[in-house]
Amino acid sequence: MIAMNLLRYQEYLKQYVNQAIQESDGSNRGVSEILWTIQVKGFLVRNRVEKQRALDDARKAFDDHRHWPREIILSHLGIAPEK
């Protein structure tokens, strides 16, 4: 079993969510759609476990809680909203 580095996981989670927010139309649905376009490709991807888990968790949060205010979803993920 491969151990996951939590600091890297948090870093990738924040990166994916911020990227999706910037590229979206501003809605939670738009953020979810952008997250689904992001892919972790290739066999030799560095930190693959952390990247894939972060992306999966971000997708799940925005898919399951689209009706929640974005600040609550970010808090649920452990990410501070950017100002």
Please count the structural domains in the chain. 1
Residue 10 lies in a domain: yes
Alpha carbon distance 54, 37 (integer Å) = 14
Q: Structural domain of residue 12, as residue ranges?
A: 6-77
> Does residue 35 lie within any of the structural domains?
yes
Residue 83 falls inside a structural domain: no
66 falls within a domain: yes
Residue 2 confidence class, pLDDT cut points 50, 70, 90 = low
The verdict on residue 69 lying in a domain is yes
Q: Using alpha carbons only, give the angle 47, 50, 51 rounded to the nearest 5 degrees.
A: 80
Tell me the mean pLDDT in the region 64-71.
93
Q: What is the pLDDT of residues 6-64, one digit of tens each?
A: 999 999 999 999 999 999 998 999 999 999 999 998 778 888 889 999 999 999 999 99
Q: What pTM was computed for the model?
A: 0.88
Minimal CA–CA distance to 81: which of 9, 7, 11, 17? 17
